[in-house]
């Protein structure tokens, strides 16, 4: 067991309240959540991909990131455990919605090469959150404490426009560089 899995396992054993897991496929972590009696509500959102590459999604719910505010009420979820690979395309919507629905901690894990740590740190620090980064050889875990986070409608709209412009300029720069 690597350092990141052990850290997640220890924190999920101590978790209290509700947990939203997006793309969590580690069986040991799922067992730890099941054994914890203090967890009252668990929601698993993922697409189970088999070893042959075929999608097996009949046991999972499909909720888009844009629908988080409708499905989950404000500050309802205590813990969010999320695989970065599944949300990277909709990161600007995920950040504002995760701050809206999350009460305590957000665990964002993935490959070190794939995650832009500076971008995530910059975008979450807008909402007055504290961020810890745990790195392993190939993996990284970003722990975001949303207990003091505040969001407002106009602030969310402003940052959505800024992030969209940033993405357009980034795509334009990539296109011109090639």
pLDDT digit string, tens, across residues 132-170: 999 988 999 999 999 998 888 898 899 989 989 988 999
Q: Write b or e for each residue in 52-72: b if 16 or more Cβ atoms lie within 10 A of its Cβ, otherwise e.
A: eeeeeeeeeeeeebeebeeeb
Confidence at residue 176, expressed as pLDDT on a 0 to 100 scale: 92
pLDDT at 54: 44
**First vs last C-alpha separation in the chain:** 40
Walk along the chain (178 residues) and give the pLDDT tens digit of each residue.
588 889 999 999 999 999 998 888 888 888 888 888 998 888 888 755 443 444 454 455 555 777 777 788 888 889 999 999 888 888 888 888 899 899 999 999 999 999 989 999 999 999 999 999 999 889 999 999 999 988 888 988 999 899 899 889 999 999 999 8
Q: Which domains does the chain have, with CATH numbers?
A: 3-151 (3.40.50.150)
Name the pTM for this structure: 0.84
């Amino acid at each position: 067991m690597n350092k990141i899995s052990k850290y997640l396992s220890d924190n999920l054993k101590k978790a209290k309240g509700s947990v939203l897991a997006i793309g969590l496929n580690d069986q040991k972590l799922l067992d730890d959540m099941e054994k914890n009696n203090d967890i009252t509500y668990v929601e698993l959102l993922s697409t189970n991909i088999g070893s042959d590459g075929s999608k097996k999604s009949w046991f999972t719910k499909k909720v888009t990131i844009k629908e988080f505010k409708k499905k989950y009420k404000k500050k309802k979820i205590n813990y969010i455990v999320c695989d970065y690979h599944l949300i990277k395309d909709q990161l600007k919507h995920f950040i504002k919605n995760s701050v809206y629905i999350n009460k305590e901690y957000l665990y964002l894990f993935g490959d070190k090469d794939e995650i832009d740590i500076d971008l995530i740190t910059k975008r979450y620090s807008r909402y007055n959150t504290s961020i810890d980064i745990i790195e392993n050889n190939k993996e990284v875990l970003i722990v975001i404490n949303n207990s003091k986070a505040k969001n407002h409608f106009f602030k969310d709209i402003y940052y959505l426009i800024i992030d969209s412009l940033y993405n357009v300029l980034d795509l334009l720069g990539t296109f011109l560089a090639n």
